[in-house]
Amino acid sequence: MEEHHVYDSIPSASCPSELNKAQIIRQQERVSFTYEVEFEESNTRWPSRWDAYLKMEGARVHWFSILNSLMVMFFLAGIVFVIFLRTVRRDLTRYEELDKESQAQMNEELSGWKLVVGDVFREPNQPKLLSVMVGDGVQVLGMAVVTSVLQPLVLCLQLHEVCY
């Protein structure tokens, strides 16, 4: 079998006649596959090679569906945020209303926010490592958000160039 490179001049080849027939495939036996490729030079410019696929003649961008999905997402996030706020506020007011005597009695039955309040406000063992990790996480998250926002804009600009 010959090895060819991308810009090599390759003479026309034909398959042997025995390969045109059906091939019986046995276990642990090599299978012969053939194919034919014919390259044709095109006058299509490189930047406009996807124009035929990107032309949206019958389909339009469904802006209403996109906006509807965003509104549902923000609405659900708002509901979760309100539930979280009400739970934390209720726990805090309940513990603030307890006087010293009842707090001593309730120490055995404490649950919720009061149990983690000491851990939340304690200084971490390695604050520099924590700050580096949080900073890196924020940077990666920020770049993911920027990429997610800019990619559709770039696609819209490319589609806009196709239409005009």
pLDDT (tens digit per residue) in 106-128: 665 556 666 677 777 788 889 99
Cβ burial 118-143 (10 Å sphere, 16+ → b, else e):
eeeeeeeeeeeeeeeeeeeeeeeeee
Q: In which domain, by residue range, is 141 found?
A: 126-164
**pTM for the full model?**
0.31
pLDDT, one tens digit per residue, over 49-93 is: 777 777 766 656 677 888 899 999 999 999 999 999 999 888 887
Total number of domains constituting the chain: 1
In a domain, 3, yes or no: no
Judged against a pLDDT cut of 90, whether residue 99 lies above it is answered with no
Judged against a pLDDT cut of 70, whether residue 43 lies above it is answered with yes
Give the residue, 31 or 57, on which the prediction is more confident: 31
Judged against a pLDDT cut of 90, whether residue 39 lies above it is answered with no
What average pLDDT does this structure show over 138-149? 95
Mean pLDDT: which of 14-28, 54-68, 130-144 is highest?
130-144
Q: How far apart are CA 46 and CA 62, in angstroms?
A: 29
Q: How far apart are CA 110 and CA 102, in angstroms?
A: 11
In a domain, 101, yes or no: no
Judged against a pLDDT cut of 60, whether residue 22 lies above it is answered with yes
In a domain, 134, yes or no: yes
Q: How confident is the model at residue 16 (pLDDT cuts 50, 70, 90)?
A: low
In a domain, 159, yes or no: yes
Report the 10 Å Cβ neighbour count for 159: 14
In a domain, 148, yes or no: yes
What average pLDDT does this structure show over 1-16? 63
Give the residue, 33 or 99, on which the prediction is more confident: 33
pLDDT of residue 164: 47
Residue 45 identity: R
In a domain, 132, yes or no: yes
Query: Which residues fall within 8 angstroms of residue 106, CB to CB, at 6 or more apart?
Result: 98
In a domain, 152, yes or no: yes
In a domain, 147, yes or no: yes
